[in-house]
Amino acid sequence: MELSGKVALVTGGSLGIGRATVMALAREGADVAFTYLGHRIHPGEAKEVVSEMQSLRRKCLAIETDVADFAASSSVVKRVVEEFGRLDILVNNAGITRDSAVWKMEEAQWDEVLSVNLKGCFNYIHAASPIFREQKLGKIINITSINGLRGKFGQANYAASKAGIVGLTKSVAKELGKYNVNVNAIAPGMIDTEMAAEVPAEIKQRAVEETVLGRIGLAEDVANLAVFLASEKARHITGTVIKVDGGQYI
């Protein structure tokens, strides 16, 4: 298994791409901790992920927290290291949408999306970086979006947050490269997740028509790339943004 003996932390790991990534990392031998925000999920979803992990005979830790809480991020990372003895992989996946045309967008809609999506990503990189620097080993994978590369009507806040992640990824890759830490980003297109379930059918159909493969992706399509970037097969890849979009961006 590619990741045997490794420990990963995935933010937003109880649903969608995060959940698929937790399971994909576990199937490759990693022990995985993940965060979730309790009031945003149906009861028992985090427990279901833990149960699935245990069926694979992997160690798992579910931590309820708000990724936008700077102080809490350090506590979460410290707890993971205490529980598992190490940390090798960080996947910044947690994200939300609060869509609105910019002239209608309220300050709270802007602030919440930037706080969770972009600041949350910074928080966990900030907390994990000292560990990765000291051990001279680490993999950071940030989930951005093709809408952070091209923009999207009604998603000025979301697109800005995801564009920020691209800049953050490239900057941190330069800062941590000499410590043998790989930092990359994945930019999904439309993916069939709980978030996508809230998108009107006509917008989903438009996304399908935009792709050259004629379909929207699955969470596992993103998770499979995350596993590759977390492995030593990707040892010479850093500062890169890789699209998983079926050609939707073209």
| Three-state secondary structure readout of 96-121 | CCCCECCCCCCHHHHHHHHHHHHHHH
Contact 114, 161 (CB under 8 A): yes
pLDDT (0 to 100) of residue 43: 54
> How much is the mean pLDDT over the chain?
95
The first and second tokens of residue 166, run together, are 């691209």
Condensed to tens digits (0 to 9), the pLDDT of residues 41-86 reads 555 889 999 999 989 999 999 999 999 999 999 999 999 999 999 9
Name the residues annotated as catalytic: 158
Condensed to tens digits (0 to 9), the pLDDT of residues 90-115 reads 999 999 999 999 999 999 999 999 99
Q: What 8-state DSSP symbol labels residue 145?
A: -
155 exposure class (CB count in 10 Å sphere: 0-12, 13-18, 19+)? buried
Structural domains in the chain, sorted by start: 7-188+218-237 (3.40.50.720)
Condensed to tens digits (0 to 9), the pLDDT of residues 164-209 reads 999 999 999 999 999 999 999 999 999 998 777 777 788 889 999 9
| Cα–Cα distance for residue pair 99/109, rounded to 1 Å | 8
The DSSP result for 40-96, as a single string, is GS-TTHHHHHHHHHHHTT--EEEEE--TT-HHHHHHHHHHHHHHHS---EEEE----
The count of C-alpha atoms lying within 13 angstroms of the C-alpha of 193, restricted to the half-sphere facing its C-beta, is 23
| Cα–Cα distance for residue pair 214/166, rounded to 1 Å | 26
Q: Which of 11, 10, 15, 13 is nearest to 42 (CA)?
A: 15
pLDDT at 40 over 60: no
| Cα–Cα distance for residue pair 7/79, rounded to 1 Å | 12
pLDDT at 244 over 70: yes
Which H or E element spans position 242?
strand 241-244
Q: Is 44 left (phi over 0), alpha (psi -120 to 50) or beta?
A: left
